[in-house]
Chain A
């Protein structure tokens, strides 16, 4: 065998072997990897939380982003190569990951904050309530000067002809369909717990099915509105405020039946930097830090004491400001925990038909 061939062979086996070997995360002391949703939020977190945290504790923060793929967390935890230390996640995934044992049960003593400050949201075992955002209906006020007033208008294609953007996700769709169909919002989940109620919601959705453009990531609805592809769209309030403030878009939000949702900081099980992760939670959950975040992003604080520190000019943009909270629809995490899988299956089958 010629030497060159041997080298080639050795190289190939080396490549193959390195492909098989799990990559060990480089271990570095005093470093945390915090995972957020990217985009404008990432920059806001850096200014409001990460940099001040590094200044106080000396712990450096590396940011990473995800789109809520639980599969990634599961793969890390099961392979015991956890490289994410703290993740921000909405209630639904937080509850699921908690049930599946993928994230730590929060030890409030280690956090060093009073759990009661976080109200009902703080009763969840596996996370620290970080921020509250709203799923609203957004529209272009130049095109619809008399924009939608109630959620029923989203379903009214006679008064508001044209396409609607909706999030390709079963939650909020069923609730909105029932409210638009005349169910009082307090009884939405009672009706949804019956098979007839679910059928009724899907029947209502059938009426607008051919007028819907489905989106999957938070930046899309703003693009759809700007491109005049839709007349109104389901959207996240933070994205709408960002489009208005940063890009000067003439977008308005309708807060009727806006579905509120909590974001939690959670810690994946098996992180080698657990103590530092708790230190981070203790820092990020203080009223000062949570109020500071609202300066960059309209995310309602989870710590009740933070509300008093929020700049009054920002208050109208927050989903849990008193006036928005009054007309909002409070989702029932228990319902979605019990029925989410089943209804998601049905929703996806409904979509594909």
Chain B
């Protein structure tokens, strides 16, 4: 009896203790959460939601649905084989009249023009003339106004417009489009550029990453092994460029690389070349400048990992009879791999989004995906295309990251 009482008392104590512990734990969690909350909010507002919105824009387009409601509705029963019936044309005439009155014909024309180049002018003039049409039959009258309305292509486009979601932008971003019968076909060669642009973006990024690794690895190795005083001095020189804006550094390269720039003038004065070499406004200039800018991003993670490798390992390897290269390759290098993996990944992903440098020192054939995103956002005002290109780049980056993770293992990455 007495024993049982003692047991239950200690049980009670244990429970109380557990509750107390839980309470403390909960409070600690809450405090930790409160500390991260500002960052979390910032991430949600400034990062996750715009990207989500962008991904949504890539497939969402209700221009035709809201601005041509009658036509898109009238076409839902259309079989797509011949031209639609008179009722669809009557609906079109009504929509065009409304578009003319509300000055929305430009927006409609622009949207149709994306898929049928040259249609925007036809839509604008049709809207103007349709406002004078008063009675049926509309079919002949509208085809008379513009032959555009006698083409099946525009009608299947309008029929697709009945849905607020479209795959057009994504298709276009990989050089496909809808044919006149809504089947997916390859874009005509004079408009098909995006597959090239994506491959080019990947190619330049891989090239720059490899170049930064080749240049950065020996420097990191040197820095990690020098006495602290000297290596600190050299480190300052590596980090110094971060104090200047990327725009200024890129512009500095324009001065160095141009036809009568520092490098060409020097090489010509030394009689190494007789004609100025083409170093700028091409792939060479782009890769050189990007390599320069990305170098610290690759170098620093490698350096900080190398710092943690104890020199005694190499000494042990040497004392056991390994030659200098063998000791480096079999003992030191594998230990620096996590830093190499982290530095390369960092540089590669940053490179995928380069815009400024190719714009300033590259030619038109060196522009990467980001420059097309900027073009569609600022100049063409085709935000669907901008979003689709961005979404594909993001998806490709995540996919590459996944593959990288499978090959290298992200838990292997080390930033120091």
Contacts and interface: CB of A to CB of B under 8 A. Distances in A.
Nearest to A227: B258
Contacts of B258: 227, 229
A339 B104 CA distance: 18
A352 B365 contact: yes
Interface string B182-218: 0000000011110011000000000000000000000
A352 B191 contact: no
A344 B197 contact: no
Nearest to A169: B379
Interface size class of B (residues with CB under 8 A): 35 or more
A11 B193 contact: no
Interface stretch (B35-43, B130-138, B303-311): B35-43
Interface residues of A, number: 42
Interface string A16-30: 100110000000000
A229 B279 CA distance: 11
Given A12-B37, A100-B106, A351-B364, 13 more contacts: A9-B34, A12-B42, A15-B42, A71-B381, A227-B260, A229-B280, A338-B120, A341-B110, A341-B118, A344-B380, A346-B190, A348-B193, A348-B375
B31 A101 contact: no
A150 B76 CA distance: 57
Interface string B300-344: 000000000000000000000000000000000000000000000
Contacts of A2: 31
Contact of B190 (A9, A70, A227, A350): A350
Contacts of B88: none
Contacts of A346: 117, 190-191
B155 to A, nearest CB: 20
Nearest to A13: B41
B11 interface: no
29 contacts: A1-B30, A2-B31, A5-B34, A15-B38, A16-B41, A70-B381, A71-B378, A71-B381, A74-B381, A99-B103, A100-B103, A100-B106, A100-B110, A101-B104, A101-B106, A227-B258, A228-B260, A229-B259, A337-B121, A338-B122, A338-B124, A342-B113, A346-B117, A346-B190, A350-B190, A352-B196, A352-B197, A352-B364, A353-B365
A221 to B, nearest CB: 14
A12 B122 CA distance: 52
Tell me what chain B mostly uses at the interface: helix, strand, loop, or mixed.
helix
A338 B121 contact: yes
A168 interface: yes
Nearest to A100: B106
Contact of A19 (B45, B117, B190, B260): B45
Interface in B95-121: 102-107, 109-110, 113, 117-118, 120-121
Interface of B: 30-31, 34-35, 37-38, 41-42, 45-46, 102-107, 109-110, 113, 117-118, 120-122, 124, 190-193, 196-197, 258-261, 280-281, 359, 363-365, 367, 372, 375, 377-381
A182 B367 CA distance: 33
Contacts of B196: 352-353
A197 B258 CA distance: 36
A213 B285 CA distance: 13
Given A1-B31, A168-B364, A352 B193 contact: yes
Contacts of A8: 34-35, 38
B45 A99 contact: no
Nearest to A198: B190
Sort A-B residue pairs by CB-CB distance and give the 6 closest, nearest first: A338-B121, A99-B106, A12-B38, A101-B103, A342-B117, A351-B364
Contacts of A101: 102-104, 106
A239 interface: no
Contacts of B380: 341, 344
Interface in A317-353: 337-339, 341-342, 344-346, 348-353
Contacts of A228: 259-260
Nearest to B261: A227
B203 to A, nearest CB: 14
A13 B45 CA distance: 11
A163 interface: yes
B117 A345 contact: yes
B44 to A, nearest CB: 9
B24 to A, nearest CB: 14
A8 B40 CA distance: 13
Nearest to A216: B359
A95 to B, nearest CB: 9
Contact of B260 (A5, A71, A229, A352): A229
A69 B121 contact: no
Contacts of A16: 41-42, 45
Contacts of A71: 377-379, 381
B140 to A, nearest CB: 23
Interface in A80-106: 96, 99-101
B31 A5 contact: yes
B110 A349 contact: no
B390 to A, nearest CB: 16
A160 interface: no
B378 A69 contact: yes
Given A100-B106, A342-B118, A214 B41 contact: no
A344 B117 CA distance: 10
